[in-house]
Amino acid sequence: MNQKMNTTNHHQHPIQSLLFNHHHCSEFSMSLRTNHAIIPSDSSLMDTPSSTTTPTAMNIQTTSSIDPNEVNKFSLLARMNEWWNPNGSLKTLHHINPARMEYIRSRVVNHFNLLHDDYKPFKGLTFLDVGCGGGLVSECLARLGASSVIGLDASSDNIMIAKEHGKSIENLEYIHSTVEGLIYKMTTLHNTSLNHSTMCSNTQNHTSGTSVYTHTSFDCIVCLEVIEHVAHAESFIQSLSQLLKPNGLLIMSTMNRTPKSYLQTIVMAEYLLGIVPRGTHDWRKYVTPQEMCIFMKKANIELVDVESMEYNPFTHRTTIGGDGNVDVNYFVVGRKRP
Residues whose CB is less than 8 angstroms from the CB of residue 2 and which lie 6 or more positions away in sequence, other chains included: 19
Nearest one of 256, 316, 333, 259 to 95, comparing CA atoms: 316
Query: In angstroms, rounded to a whole number, what is the distance separating the alpha carbons of residues 282 and 229?
Result: 8
> Helices 233-242 & 289-298, crossing angle to 10 degrees?
40
Query: In angstroms, rounded to a whole number, what is the distance separating the alpha carbons of residues 310 and 9?
Result: 10
**Residue 47 known to bind ligand:** no
- Cα-based distances in Å from 316 to 77, 88, 154: 22, 14, 29
Contact 6, 106 (CB under 8 A): yes
Residues whose CB is less than 8 angstroms from the CB of residue 127 and which lie 6 or more positions away in sequence, other chains included: 141, 146, 148, 149, 150, 218, 219, 220, 221, 222
**Residue 153 known to bind ligand:** yes
Nearest one of 243, 252, 253, 263 to 336, comparing CA atoms: 243
β-sheet bridge partners, residue 7: 15
**Residue 139 known to bind ligand:** no
**Residue 225 known to bind ligand:** yes
**Residue 100 known to bind ligand:** yes
Residues whose CB is less than 8 angstroms from the CB of residue 140 and which lie 6 or more positions away in sequence, other chains included: 97, 101
> Helices 68-79 & 156-165, crossing angle to 10 degrees?
40
Number of H helices and E strands in the chain, helices first, is 8, 12
Contact 112, 104 (CB under 8 A): no
Query: In angstroms, rounded to a whole number, what is the distance separating the alpha carbons of residues 189 and 52?
Result: 7
Known binding residues for Mg(2+) are: 225, 228-229
Known binding residues are: 100, 131, 153, 224-225, 228-229
Known binding residues for S-adenosyl-L-methionine are: 100, 131, 153, 224
